[in-house]
Chain A
Amino acid sequence: MNARRLSRSLMLLTPLLAGCATQVAPWERGHLARPEMALEPYPLEASFRQHVFFSKESVSGGYGVGGGGCGCN
Chain B
Amino acid sequence: MKITALTLCLLAFGSMATQAAELNAPAPGCRVQTLTGQSSVDPAAFPGKVVYLDFWASWCIPCAKSFPVLDQWQSELGGRGFEVIAINLDEERQEALDFLQQHPVRFTIGADPAGKCPRLYAVRGMPTSYLIDRQGRIREVHEGFKTSDAAGLRARIESLLSER
Known: A3-B1, A8-B3. A30 touches B11 (CB 8 A): no
Q: Mark B1-38, 1 if CB is under 8 A from A, else 0.
A: 10110110011001100000000000000000000000
Bound complex: CA of A33 vs CA of B118, how far in Å?
A: 18
Q: Are B59 and A34 touching (Cβ within 8 A)?
A: yes
Main secondary structure of the interface of B (DSSP, over half): loop
Are A27 and B4 in contact (CB-based, < 8 A)? no
Query: Nearest chain A CB to B99's CB is how many angstroms away?
Result: 11
Contact A7 B3 (CB under 8 A): yes
A36 within 8 A of B: no
Interface residues of B in 90-148 (CB under 8 A from A): 90-92, 95, 115, 118-119, 123-126, 128
Chain B, residue nearest A19 (CB): B14
Q: B60 touching A25 by the CB < 8 A rule? A: no
Q: Which residue of B lies closest to A8 (CB)?
A: B3
- By a CB distance below 8 angstroms, the chain B residues around A30 are 57-59, 90-92, 95
List chain A residues, Cβ under 8 A from B15: 21
User: How large, as a class, is the contact surface on chain B?
Assistant: 20 to 34
Whether A44 sits at the interface, judged by CB under 8 Å, is no
| Contacts known (A18-B14, A30-B59); A25 close to B3, Cβ less than 8 A | no
Interfacial chain A residues near B58, Cβ < 8 Å: 30
Cβ-based interface call for B67 (8 A): no
Q: Which of B29-65 contact A (CB under 8 A)?
A: 55, 57-60
**Secondary structure class of chain A's binding surface, majority of residues:** helix
Contact A10 B126 (CB under 8 A): no
Minimum CB–CB distance for B42 against chain A, Å: 18
Contact A3–B118 (Cβ < 8 Å):
no
Chain B residues near A (Cβ < 8 Å) = 1, 3-4, 6-7, 10-11, 14-15, 55, 57-60, 89-92, 95, 115, 118-119, 123-126, 128
Q: Which A residues have a C-beta under 8 Å from some C-beta of B?
A: 3-4, 6-8, 10-11, 14-15, 18, 21-22, 25-30, 33-34
